[in-house]
Amino acid sequence: MPSPAEIFRPLKGPGILQSLRELVRPRELECLQVEVTSCCAGRCVYCPHTTEGSLWKARHMSPEVFAALWPMMLKASRIHLQGWGEPFLHPYFLDFVGLARRAECSVSTTTCGLYMDEALAARIVSSGIDILAFSLTGTDEASSRARAGVPFARVEESVRTLQKVRKAKNGVHLEIHLAYLMLASQIEDVRRLPELMERWDVHAAVVSTMDYVPSPALAEEAFAPHEREKIEKARIVLEEAGKRVRASGRDFFASLPAEHPAPSCRERVHRTMYVDAEGQVSPCVYLNVPTQGSQPRRTVFGEVSRENPLEIWNKPEYAAFRSSVQTAEPPQACRSCAKRFEAPCALRRTEPQPR
């Protein structure tokens, strides 16, 4: 069986002419999101991996499938290597990073934080990854109870380990972020986020709400557009936290549902592509959850092991889908999506204090 190095060797990076063209005209795709694996050891209560565990399809992407994405990598500015699983469970994850960097793409990923040690941290810093986000739902062990199987203390240890190695190796290119899911029952926990960011010395936090509700029992933890009182309570907390974070010289981004949908998609599917671990192409991660059985919203336009991904991208039906999403009458699969209502919080910027 050929190794990833053997499979990737024939693939040549952008030439000088392409690099020069890109100085004046950015690449067509803002982001190519690749689900390198759908495997995960976590049992987070808000994830379909937990709520639909008996139907879950756990699999790794093969190097051959990843190599088939090469034509699209050359069209993408960023590759985000994560979907519905934990990327560091994939044995060839850093080989995939290397190929993405050969295509001169920025590379990012999101991790639960269970698998970090100094050896992995050193390889991450050397790989060229420029953003690594750690996912959280709280700021201490008690407020992180929704992330069953992922102890808060272990995440903290992982962040500190990566920071130690990053600074020792002068890895100034690598930013460490927090991908923070704010549950409706835990709005007040966000107030402690500025202190946590300071303690861990992370560069930025992105606070989101539950965009995908995998079970009716979890609906109360989401923020529905009509729940204005709950949303305004969250907005006050987010704006206060954001002001404090930005005063320290760090970045803070947050969003909440607006009362009415926007005629556009916050996932920007007209400039992004999602590819699952089997190589199936969808507009976004929400339209291709890896479960067996019926999925009314599931939308797939092709499979890269059978078709060139550029040909899939240019299919009339895919182009029509992307165009329709940017209107007030999106495709049926998108009409109830929380991303249509999502609006960024207006966070005031303040002068950063010396760090």
Q: What is the pLDDT averaged over residues 193-220? A: 95
Instruction: Label residue 81 left, alpha or beta by phi (over 0 means left) and psi (-120 to 50 means alpha).
Output: beta
Residue 233 has pLDDT above 60, yes or no: yes
Q: What is the pLDDT averaged over residues 298-323? A: 97
CA dist., res. 277 & res. 59, Å (int): 7
What's the alpha-carbon Rg for the chain, to the nearest Å?
Answer: 20
pTM of the model: 0.94
Coil, strand or helix at 205: strand
CA dist., res. 262 & res. 311, Å (int): 30
Instruction: Choose the most confident range, by mean pLDDT, from 12-26, 43-57, 59-73, 262-276.
Output: 59-73
Q: Which residue has the higher pLDDT, 81 or 21?
A: 81
- Give residue 355's pLDDT band: very low, low, confident or very high (50, 70, 90): very low
Which one, of 98, 92, 130, 134, lies nearest residue 116 by Cα? 134
Which one, of 214, 222, 153, 151, lies nearest residue 182 by Cα? 222
Residues 238-277 pLDDT 10s? 999 999 999 999 999 999 999 999 888 888 999 999 999 9
- Give residue 346's pLDDT band: very low, low, confident or very high (50, 70, 90): low
CA dist., res. 161 & res. 122, Å (int): 10
Residues 6+ apart with CB under 8 A from 146: 44, 45, 46, 137, 138, 183, 186
* Residue for token pair 């109870």: 145
Residues 75-126 pLDDT 10s? 999 999 999 999 999 999 999 999 999 999 999 999 999 999 999 999 999 9
* % of the chain residues with pLDDT over 70: 97
CA-based end-to-end distance of the chain: 51
CA dist., res. 125 & res. 170, Å (int): 9
* % of the chain residues with pLDDT over 90: 86
Query: CA-CA-CA-CA torsion for 124, 106, 212, 311, nearest 10 degrees?
Result: -130
Average pLDDT, the chain: 93
Residue 351 has pLDDT above 60, yes or no: no
CA dist., res. 39 & res. 85, Å (int): 5
